[in-house]
Amino acid sequence: MAVLSLLASIIFPIWIIDLNDETKVLTSFYLMTQAKGQAGSGAVYAYLPYSVTAMLCVAAITLAIIEIAKYKNRMTQMKIGALNSFFLVGVILASFFFSSNLMKTLSAGGGNYGLGMWLPGIAVFCNLMANRFIRKDEKLVRDSTRLR
């Protein structure tokens, strides 16, 4: 679930604002500025600072897949899960920082948060639940070994 929600958060926009003469859409890869009345030809893309969110998201996806693949070693899974939590928090903080910075810069106030802002929260919840159940399973194995 965490991998799927992170993949979806890369696709969906983080923040959208519709100004009088242009529309700005922030995704995890870029900020798109498009003048009204023009189709795809008038769009301007800014990649540089905004692609940090996508890099953190791809790192979190990679760690989640590695965590799933390490099912035979629960201690390694717990360590990777803890590391992945830091990357997930980084994704959320980067999304919030870039969207709030754009709100301040435009001083238009408002805008709408897209699905890309909320989906990493689902990934954090799934990662925390996975860590909890891995820890619970490890405790069960240790308790059963002690009884032998």
What's the pLDDT score for residue 7?
Answer: 94
Helix 115-147 vs helix 51-69: crossing angle, to nearest 10: 20
- Residues composing the chain: 148
* Surface-to-core class of residue 73, CB atoms within 10 Å of its CB (0-12 exposed, 13-18 middle, 19+ buried): exposed
Residue ranges of the domains in the chain?
Answer: 2-11+51-147
Task: Read off the pLDDT of residues 23-47 as tens digits, 9 standing for 90 and up.
Answer: 889 999 998 888 877 665 678 888 8
- SS3 for 47? coil
Task: Read off the pLDDT of residues 89-119 as tens digits, 9 standing for 90 and up.
Answer: 999 999 999 998 888 888 766 788 899 999 9
